[in-house]
Every structure is written in C-alpha cells, then in structure tokens.
Structure 1
Amino acid sequence: MDHPSWVLLFSHVLIALCFGIAQPQQFCSNKGTFSVNSNYSNNLNRLLSSLPSSMAENGIFYNATVGQGPDKVYALALCRGDLPSEKCYSCVNATSQAIKQQCPNKKEAIMWTDSICLVRYANRDIFTKMEEIPPFCVSNPNNFSGDFAKFNETLHDLMAKLITQASSGLKFATGYVSFTKPIYGLVQCTPDISERDCEICLQKGMGEMESCSGGREGGRILSPSCIVWFELFRFYEPAGTLDAPVQFPPGPANLSPQPPSPSSPANVSPPNQTRNKNVIIIAVAVASLVTLVTIICALFLWRRMKQKVENDDEMKRLESLEFNFSTLKIATNEFSNDNKLGQGGFGSVYKVWRNWREGTATNLIDETLRGSPVSDVTRCLHIGLLCVQENVSDRPTMAAVVLMLNSHSWSFPSPSRPAFLLDSNTDTGLPPLESDTGTTMQDQSTENPQGTAYLSPDSNSHRLRHAQ
C-alpha cells in the first residue's frame, strides 16, 4: 500500500472514532412507573437479562414477552445488519443494563447505543407496529464544502434506492454512489414490521435528515423502528451483495522501470537513506493527522458545550416570564373587569372543544390571522387541546410539544375532553357539557359561598372541589 492510501485510510479511521464518541440516545417514557421488587420489575429484569443470549441464538433481531395482564412486559433488541455476532452480543448486553440505570422505574423506554444496537421495552404491545417517534438526530460536525445542490440530489438518489431495496427485502441495505468523494449510505428497519411500514419509516427518517444534518458531511436518524445514515467515509462493514463494491479511479499505467544511466551514479539513493525518508514521511503524516483529529474533536466538544449554554440561557429566559399570584393580583388591580382583555375559563375552552368536535375549528381563527396557513393554526389548536386534557397522564410533555411544533410529518392523537373552570355566576349561553356517564357538568357542580364551582383537572372522573 503506498503512503497516500495508507494515510487516507488512517485518517478515516481516526475521524470515525472521534465522531463515534457519543452518549447513548435514550427516551424514558412518562406513561407509567413501577416499584422495586414488583411483579413488573421482576418480569422486566428477567426479560432484559435474557436478551443478549437470545440475540446470539437468533441473529440481529429478537423480541419476547414475560408475564400476564398489567405486569406483562414486551421487549425487543436490534443490531445493525453489518455487525459481527460478538459485537452485537456486547452491545445488547451493555444496553440492557444501561437502560435500567438511565430510565429507573419507567414502564417504557428506548435506548440506542453507539448507533449500532437498539433495546426497547414497554407495558404495551410494541411488536409489528411502526413507530417513528421519538426520532434521535446525530449529525456529523463537519460542514460540506462544494456544490451542495448537486450533493443533495446525489444523496437523495442513493438513499431512495437503498430504501426501496431494504423495504422489499431484508429490511437492511448499504451502498455508495460516486461523487467528488464517495457517499456511503445505510438504512435498516426492525424485521417485524411490514414492507410498507418499513418504507414509510425510512422515508420519514430521510425527511428529518434535512433539519438534522442539512449542509453537513453526514448524519443519522435513529427511531424506534428504523435507522437512516449517510457519511462521506465507509462506516459499515460490507457483507456480500448488501453493498456495492467501492470503485477507485484508475491509477497510472504499469510501466517497466528504466535502468539508471551509467553516466550518473549520483542519482541512485542508498538503501539506508531511502528507509530514513520513508520513516520521516510516515512520522510527519501521523503527527499531522493526530493534530488534525485533535482539533476536530475539540471543535465538536466546544460546539456541544456552546449548545448546552444556549439551552440553559433559553430556560432562564423562559423562567423570567413566570409570574406568581401576588404579582398578577397587583398588576390587574385585584383582577378588575377594567383590565379584562377577553373571556377565559369555561367559555373559551368549551368553544374550542365544541368547534373542534363539530369540525368547525377554523371559525375560531382571528380575522388578523386569516392570511396564515389554516393547517398551521389548526395544528396549534390541536396541540393546545392535547395540553389541557382532563387526564393528566394523557397530556404531552414539554419535550413532546417542542417536537410537535417543529415537525409537520407527525400524526397527533385525538384530544380527549379538556379540564374546565365553570363560573356559576356567568351566563355563557352554552349548553351544559355532558360527562361520559350521561350526566351534565351542572348536575355534578357545587358552589362555594362566592358562587364559583371548580372542576378538578387532575382526576379521571368529573369530581368538583370548592374554592378556598
């Protein structure tokens, strides 16, 4: 192997190692918890401890259940299709232990480790179901330099072919396409989902790639059911026909060496001198590469620290917008009607809920917003209703709300009945709201001496409490 090829290979390995140093990507659901030594806890420990050995026997994918009824645990594990069996075992073994530490007492959790293996469990059936939420984004820190429009077009053509190949076959495909530098791609789905669901999951992952790694030399989207990944270096192990052979440009013609001229013996270098030159070239190349990789790693860590500082500053800015009750009381002059800007409480929420159920939510759009896209306004109303559902456990977390506001590709769940505040001294002009049992809120409401009845928002039933 000549020196330039050796140096290029070594640089790719070092950059890949630097880029690969990343924290596991995990999601700990808030939909339920369990206590230590409970039946669910024992079933979960039993199932997670069996995953590594089961993967060694079954290949790159395995799913199983333990328990019955509310204590039943569903779990699955997935390794990247090009991963050797021993690395798959090690990754699943480490992840099965880490997920319990990172998500203690959670009834549902997901964890990707080094983007090469996935472990997830839940107290609901997660098998044969395509789920792309939550997606994890891991972006290459290097910006692409060159004709980005042509690069983007070439990348999408490559990934489209790989998506078609994977969804219609082994649920895994790798390949490359020639560009100024070869572009390498990898796509994979969990084998238990259908071909159509695999295709949808990978296409949505590629759609998320623009916001995740637009303008970068590489990136990956990790979701519960699939993975989409591209780089400008080979980051996977080719296996048989799953990867097209890498083609290098043709080298110079193989010419026979010419004998040295007898009249110029000074042009011939002694063997020791040639070896010394080789050692110097290798030493300089290695030192340069180590320096370059160190700089790249430092820039990557600096970028992550800067992003964390910016996030902390944003949280502080948001916290500065919070007001306590005393401040609001003074600012509104004892909540005087002279300072009232509009109707709140039961009336406004009920109008939104009623129009939503009747399919006339666009009637609520203010005249000044009529020029805005109706779908954007409707999406905000949808998210708002999800956030005020009566059952607190059904409400999305702030992290989920941020993801909903930034993505147009998600399908939101239908909102359930919101929690309400009912002022019995106020004539809203609206019909009484029926509960799930057929009785009305007015039948169940009670009044305090000031004439205000409250519906408790943190209960699954329509219980009312007196205002103090």
Structure 2
Amino acid sequence: MRMGASRLQLFLLCAMLTHLVKLAFAQRDAYVIYDCSNTNNVSSNSVYSKNVNTLLTTISSNTNIDYGFYNFSVGENFNRVNAIVLCRVDLTPTDCRSCVKMSALELLFRCPNRKEGIMWYMNCTVRYSNNSLFGVMQFEPVQQLSAATVVTDPSGTFNQVRETLLDKLRSEATASASTLRKFATGRANSRYFDIYALLQCTPDLNQQECSDCLNQSIAKVPTCCNSSPGVRVLTPSCNVRYENYHFYRYTLEAPPPSSSTLPLPAEGKGSSTNSSRTIIIVVVAIVSAVLIFCICTCIYLRMRKQGKKVEMDEINSGAESLQFDFCTIRVATDNFSNVNKLGEGGFGTVYKGKFPNGQEIAVKRLSRSSEQGDQEFKNEILLVVKLQHRNLVRLLGFCFEGNERLLVYEFMPNASLDHFIFGTHDYIFSSCMYVYMFQHTCIYIILFICIYICPITPYICLIECVDPSKRLHLDWTIRYKIIVGIARGLQYLHEDSQFRIIHRDLKTSNVLLDEEMNPKISDFGMARLFTLDQSQANTRRIVGTYGYMAPEYAMHGHFSVKSDVFSYGVLILEMVCGQKNNYFQDGENTENLLSHAWKNWREGIASNLIDSTLRVGSTIEIMRCIHIGLLCVQENIAERPTMASVLLMLNSYSMALPVPSRPAFLMHNIVESDMLSDRSFQASQNEASMTDPYPR
C-alpha cells in the first residue's frame, strides 16, 4: 500500500512538472500479407532478376521523398522493373522508410525469382512488375482482414452508419485538392459504438479511378464481415480500414500559422514594472521546477530501493534453499561463453552449463535493462517452485546478485519442440552483406535480418535456418506422446495444482523435450495465478506470441483457461501438419494455418493436412487429433473444451466428438469467388446431421 501511495505521488508531481500526459496507442497494426502466385518464374541469374534485387534493396534510400509515395524503375525494355510504394498517410518519413525497407526485403524473401509481386507489410504497400504501374488503377489481388468478434448493437444501426461514413469519406478522398496525397479520415458514433475510418488511394490515380477503387473495396465489406468492429480491405491501388478505436495519428494537415500580431508594450514606467514581474515569475518557475524534480528523484530512488528489498524478500520467503551464488553459475557456464549459448529470447539468453559433480543445467540470464525481465524472474520463481509435474520443466535454483538475475533449470538434451517439428537451428555468421549472392533459403533469411540490423558494416548475426529433415525424427507415436503429455501438463496447471495457473505463452519453443522425447512445458514468466474459484481475468498488458494467442486475449486482454486451450489447439495442428501457424502460400491463396485447416475440414479433405513425413501411423488417430485441434481453436470461447475434456477425447476413442465451429482469426482471400464463400457458410447450417465421424 505504501509503494502504491508513493507511485501516486510520483505520478502527480511529474504531471505538475511536465503538464502533459501522453497516451500511447496499442500496436494493433501487425500483419504481413503478400501475393505473387499468379506470376511466372524467372531465372535467378537473369538481368531481370538482378534488376528486381537492385530495386527492392535500394527503394527506401531516397530521403527526398517525404510524402509516403515512391515510384521507381530499373532497367530497360524487357528487363525493366517498375515499383510503386504507398505508406499510410499518417506515417512520418522515417517510419515510412523503415516500413518500406522491411517490406521490400520481406518481398524478396517471399517471392524469389518472380516477375511481379506485392507485399502489404504493417502500414505500407510495396509492389513491383514488368508492366507499367504508374497511373494505372489495379484492384486485384485484394485481401481482407477482419476482427473475430461482432459489434454489440441493440439499435441495429451499425452497418448503416458504417456505410454512410465510408461513402462520405470516399467522396472526400477523391475530391482531395492535393496531388501528393489522396485520403480521408473520419468518425461516426452512437450510444453503442464508435467507428473510425481511413480511406486512401495512391496519388497517381485521377479522381474517377480513385473513386472506382474505393467503391469496389467498400463493396467487399458487407459480403464477408458485416457487423465486424474492425475491417481492412487491401488492394494495390487503394486501402479501406475502419476500427472501433482511434488508430490513425491525425486527420488533416496542420493549418498555416496565424498572421495576427501581438500588441506593442507601452513605453515608460509600465514597461519596467512588467519586466520586473516577468523576472520574478521566471525565477519562481525555475526554482519550483528544480524542487519538484528533486522530490521526484528522491521518491523514485526510495521506491526503487524498497521495491528491490520487497522483491528479494518475496523470492527468499518461497525458495530459500534454491539460491545459487553468481560465481558458481559463471564457472558452470564458462563465464557465459557464446559456445554454450543455447538460444535467445525476449527477456534474456539461455546457456548450457555443468556443475562440478557433472550435472548439466540450462541457465537463463535475464536482460539487465528489462523491467519486464525483473517481473518475469520473480513470477517464474514464485510459480515454478509450487509446481511438481512430470510434464513441467523443473527449476533447480536461481541467482539474485546485484544486477544479475539467473534462473537454473534441468537441462533438456533435445532442446525445444520447434527444433524438431519445424527443423529450426540457430547459426552465427560473420558477414551480413556478401552472403546474398547464394540462392539457398537460409541465405535469404540472413539478408532479411542482417541488412536491417547492419545496413552498412558487416556484423555477427544470429539467424534461424530451417532443416526439414529434423521432422523425420518425430514419427506419429512420438508426436502423439508429446500431444498427450502437453495436455496432461496443462490440465495440472488448470485443475490439479494448488492454484489455477494460466500459462499465456504456450507454443512449440516453450515445450522442451527430454532424452526420451517426453514434453515439459517451460517459461512461466508470463503465467498468471488464479484462486481455485477464479476462472477469468482481464489485463491491459498483452503478452505472448501472435498466432498462439486467443482472439479475446489478443484484442481485449481477456484471458482464462480457454486461452491456453486455444494455444494448445494451434500447437496440435502444427504437430499434425508440420507447418508454423503463420501466413503461407497455398496455391493461389494466402492464408494462415487455421484458415487452411478449416477449409480442408469443411471440404472433406482434412487428410491433406497430414505432414508428408508421417508415412506410418494411425490415420484415425491423426484425424481425431485434427478434430480436437479445431475444437480447441473455435471462435466461441464457451464451445472450446477444457483440458480435462481434451484428455478424455485423446484417451477414449469411443467418445463421440462434437462438430467444430468456425475457428478464430480466419483470413479471407477475396481472390476466391464469392460463390465459394457463400457455399462454405451455407454448409454450416446442416452440420448437426453429419454421421460420418470425420471428413472424407
């Protein structure tokens, strides 16, 4: 309570000094979507391919362009490559160039040796082609993203208000007098909802072309995502977006400064009096500011000292016998040698070590400058010491000396699950700039990461390469054992431990494997502890990994045991498919793993999801796991099973499984026909009559 009062005092005093409280928007703009499926391949050694590489690696270097629109060309005649870039209108020139750089390099990696391609990356669009692009309105390919929830609107007016707002902004954007920017922003609201919208065209279009592009984009919204609180329609020539929160930075350019003048001071004695008064005010203000700053500093230092003491007392009270001294761990890891480095995460680095008695250990060294790392350190110790289960990683001890925060775990010789299911490895390279000439997958990843980290001088870069042969070590028997083991660990956390614990960051890299490939859930720094009668909570600090986070948690901060169930469902599908849950190319369509799995399930070809390396294994068992995975990732929270129910489904083949409903985070590809979309939604009306336990 005392620390809480001190924090309040610090906030009030600092507010008096600064006179400004700035609100930070949450980062809700993360997406990477690309399309290059309908184009022909070109030789990697051709002049055209070299021109593409030259253009995309240098496209963001022109610092004179500061209004967010790039138009470049490289080459002549048949080898000419044209490119256009559009940044969202509210980006600063620096943010725009940064987005363009990352987008162009990502496009190189995603679409190697293609004649044309387009990338929607965060808040910018990059496209290139051998055809003319400037002044040509292009509507396809088009992508649409929508929120997984619907608006609660008792008035029933949301869709009408949205259509009116978008049509109004379309007219404003097309009528823009600026030749550099064609956009419009606006807001509409009622008692039950708010709508913020931004429409933008590439400035090379004329009024009619811009209007046509925006009209077609707006027309796509009701066909797929009616009543959705947030939608983005992405096309090569224009973009439409609306949300239920204020996502853009400003609405219009600042007006020119006022030309009004100030009155001249009076002459004589009055001027002297005013000067004296001004001096007094300035002196008093400076002295007050210095005093307030000193008080703030004293309170902060006192809070920091008390906080560290309380933090250490809390840890010591729960884990006195587990504390190691720093010298012991430093010797065990050979002074934290890079040779012993096992990996690196958001809060620190993990090293392999060995005690004098020969016991091997894994040491997580948390970042010294991370406040989140401090919280993770305390959280993990206080939680893990209370947990004892064969499918949870065992904490051997910790070290808290000075600025050092170390966690010591049992060593897992087979590392984490992602090393096998995705075949990922960490490698260190000494050069960042010259490896680009090779045409291997790993080299493209090096180019993507290293040019961004060290664009001028080569440095040592840690990168991740893919070795698909690692999956061959995981036959279906081992995968099924891992799936069941993870379920048992989660059930213990949710129902059988002293407290109910929500992990909040379950993913393949947080599942470790022992010598016999038994899974052990690790990394409890993000976990939250509930009382046994508590089932859900809310937070403003969203932590975890996108792709594994349940939609209600990622968007609203609402989490429960069903959030972990969602992550577990994603993990099951990754285990069966052998693919990561990120956007990947499937023929002509771009979709994530959940969309891909759901589409195949609905079309009766779920067997297409099975990893090609699984040549031996029970097909019925594999299909049952796909079924369970889809049940776990359902959009409706109430329909997701508990982990106890999941274990029962895995262990009892006689138990009939319910038909899964639509999963969350479906990404719609508008290139597909509307008829196909309509057909898939109509089919859901008759699901209850299905008698065959699995699709064909």
| TM-score normalised by structure 2 residue count | 0.37
C-alpha distance in 1 between matches for 2:116 and 2:593: 29
User: For residue 193 of structure 1, what is the amino acid of its counterpart?
Assistant: L
After superposition, residues 197-276 of structure 1 pair within 5 angstroms as: 197-241=209-253
- 2:597 matched to which residue of 1? 309
- Please state whether the residue corresponding to 1:37 is helix, strand or coil: coil
User: For residue 153 of structure 2, what is the amino acid of its counterpart?
Assistant: G
After superposition, residues 276-291 of structure 1 pair within 5 angstroms as: 288-290=539-541
C-alpha distance in 2 between matches for 1:400 and 1:86: 32
> Displacement of 1:84 after TM fit?
1.1
Q: Which has the larger radius of gyration?
A: 1
> Displacement of 1:195 after TM fit?
0.7
Instruction: Check 1:233–1:104 CA distance in 2 against 1; reply closer, same or farther (3 A cut).
Output: same
- Please state whether the residue corresponding to 1:34 is helix, strand or coil: coil
Instruction: Check 1:194–1:160 CA distance in 2 against 1; reply closer, same or farther (3 A cut).
Output: same
User: For residue 312 of structure 1, what is the amino acid of its counterpart?
Assistant: N
- Please state whether the residue corresponding to 1:210 is helix, strand or coil: helix
**Retained in 2: the 8 A contact 1:66–1:73?**
yes
- 1:189 matched to which residue of 2? 201
- 1:179 matched to which residue of 2? 190
* One of 40, 46, 49 as aligned partner of 2:54: 46
After superposition, residues 110-125 of structure 1 pair within 5 angstroms as: 110-114=118-122, 116-125=123-132
> Displacement of 1:34 after TM fit?
1.2
> Displacement of 1:108 after TM fit?
0.7
Instruction: Check 1:45–1:90 CA distance in 2 against 1; reply closer, same or farther (3 A cut).
Output: same
C-alpha distance in 1 between matches for 2:56 and 2:202: 18
**Retained in 1: the 8 A contact 2:188–2:195?**
yes
C-alpha distance in 2 between matches for 1:11 and 1:139: 25
- 2:69 matched to which residue of 1? 61
> Displacement of 1:73 after TM fit?
0.6
C-alpha distance in 1 between matches for 2:78 and 2:676: 34
C-alpha distance in 1 between matches for 2:172 and 2:155: 26
Instruction: Check 1:146–1:30 CA distance in 2 against 1; reply closer, same or farther (3 A cut).
Output: closer
- Please state whether the residue corresponding to 1:402 is helix, strand or coil: coil
User: For residue 82 of structure 1, what is the amino acid of its counterpart?
Assistant: D
Per-residue displacement from partner, 1:388-408 (whole Å, max 9, x unpaired)?
Answer: xxxxxxxxxxx8973374599
> Displacement of 1:158 after TM fit?
1.2
Per-residue displacement from partner, 1:389-442 (whole Å, max 9, x unpaired)?
Answer: xxxxxxxxxx8973374599xxxxxxxxxxxxxxxxxxxxxxxxxxxxxxxxxx
Instruction: Check 1:141–1:186 CA distance in 2 against 1; reply closer, same or farther (3 A cut).
Output: same
Per-residue displacement from partner, 1:256-276 (whole Å, max 9, x unpaired)?
Answer: xxxxxxxxxxxxxxxxxxxxx
User: For residue 101 of structure 1, what is the amino acid of its counterpart?
Assistant: F
User: For residue 219 of structure 2, what is the amino acid of its counterpart?
Assistant: G
C-alpha distance in 1 between matches for 2:155 and 2:593: 28
Matched, 1:146 2:158: no
> Displacement of 1:316 after TM fit?
5.4
| Higher strand residue share | 2
C-alpha distance in 1 between matches for 2:140 and 2:674: 10
> Displacement of 1:183 after TM fit?
1.3
* One of 14, 26, 33 as aligned partner of 1:25: 33
Per-residue displacement from partner, 1:353-412 (whole Å, max 9, x unpaired)?
Answer: xxxxxxxxxxxxxxxxxxxxxxxxxxxxxxxxxxxxxxxxxxxxxx8973374599xxxx
Count of matched residue pairs: 283
After superposition, residues 430-449 of structure 1 pair within 5 angstroms as: none
C-alpha distance in 1 between matches for 2:137 and 2:86: 14
> Displacement of 1:35 after TM fit?
1.1
- Please state whether the residue corresponding to 2:61 is helix, strand or coil: helix
Matched, 1:86 2:94: yes
Per-residue displacement from partner, 1:142-186 (whole Å, max 9, x unpaired)?
Answer: 310013631111111111111111111141111112322331000
* One of 161, 164, 187 as aligned partner of 2:171: 164
C-alpha distance in 2 between matches for 1:183 and 1:106: 39
> Displacement of 1:98 after TM fit?
0.5
Instruction: Check 1:95–1:401 CA distance in 2 against 1; reply closer, same or farther (3 A cut).
Output: closer
> Displacement of 1:296 after TM fit?
6.5
User: For residue 117 of structure 1, what is the amino acid of its counterpart?
Assistant: C
C-alpha distance in 1 between matches for 2:85 and 2:196: 25
| TM-score normalised by structure 1 residue count | 0.53
> After TM superposition, which residue ranges in structure 1, 4 or more long, deviate above 6 angstroms?
9-12, 299-304
Matched, 1:72 2:342: no
- Please state whether the residue corresponding to 2:151 is helix, strand or coil: coil
User: For residue 202 of structure 2, what is the amino acid of its counterpart?
Assistant: T
Instruction: Check 1:242–1:157 CA distance in 2 against 1; reply closer, same or farther (3 A cut).
Output: farther
**Retained in 1: the 8 A contact 2:539–2:557?**
no
- Please state whether the residue corresponding to 1:159 is helix, strand or coil: helix
Instruction: Check 1:80–1:148 CA distance in 2 against 1; reply closer, same or farther (3 A cut).
Output: farther
C-alpha distance in 2 between matches for 1:315 and 1:208: 24
> Displacement of 1:305 after TM fit?
5.7
Instruction: Check 1:198–1:143 CA distance in 2 against 1; reply closer, same or farther (3 A cut).
Output: same
C-alpha distance in 2 between matches for 1:162 and 1:52: 30
Instruction: Check 1:119–1:142 CA distance in 2 against 1; reply closer, same or farther (3 A cut).
Output: same
- Please state whether the residue corresponding to 1:96 is helix, strand or coil: helix
* One of 100, 106, 115 as aligned partner of 1:98: 106
- Please state whether the residue corresponding to 1:110 is helix, strand or coil: strand
User: For residue 317 of structure 1, what is the amino acid of its counterpart?
Assistant: I
User: For residue 289 of structure 1, what is the amino acid of its counterpart?
Assistant: R
Instruction: Check 1:129–1:242 CA distance in 2 against 1; reply closer, same or farther (3 A cut).
Output: farther
Per-residue displacement from partner, 1:123-156 (whole Å, max 9, x unpaired)?
Answer: 1112211111111111122310013631111111
**Retained in 2: the 8 A contact 1:110–1:119?**
yes
Instruction: Check 1:147–1:128 CA distance in 2 against 1; reply closer, same or farther (3 A cut).
Output: farther
C-alpha distance in 2 between matches for 1:90 and 1:165: 29
Instruction: Check 1:234–1:108 CA distance in 2 against 1; reply closer, same or farther (3 A cut).
Output: same
User: For residue 101 of structure 2, what is the amino acid of its counterpart?
Assistant: N
User: For residue 673 of structure 2, what is the amino acid of its counterpart?
Assistant: L
User: For residue 205 of structure 1, what is the amino acid of its counterpart?
Assistant: S
**Retained in 1: the 8 A contact 2:538–2:557?**
no
C-alpha distance in 2 between matches for 1:55 and 1:32: 33
C-alpha distance in 2 between matches for 1:165 and 1:404: 29
- Please state whether the residue corresponding to 1:57 is helix, strand or coil: coil
C-alpha distance in 1 between matches for 2:126 and 2:196: 25
- Please state whether the residue corresponding to 2:152 is helix, strand or coil: coil
**Retained in 2: the 8 A contact 1:39–1:71?**
yes
Instruction: Check 1:164–1:122 CA distance in 2 against 1; reply closer, same or farther (3 A cut).
Output: same
Matched, 1:127 2:134: yes
**Retained in 1: the 8 A contact 2:597–2:606?**
no
Structure 2: state its 5+ residue gaps.
Answer: 1-7, 13-20, 256-536, 543-552, 571-591, 609-668, 679-696
C-alpha distance in 2 between matches for 1:400 and 1:220: 12
C-alpha distance in 1 between matches for 2:677 and 2:595: 21
User: For residue 229 of structure 2, what is the amino acid of its counterpart?
Assistant: E
- 2:376 matched to which residue of 1? none
Per-residue displacement from partner, 1:299-348 (whole Å, max 9, x unpaired)?
Answer: 9977976433212324653989xxxxxxxxxxxxxxxxxxxxxxxxxxxx
- Please state whether the residue corresponding to 1:52 is helix, strand or coil: coil
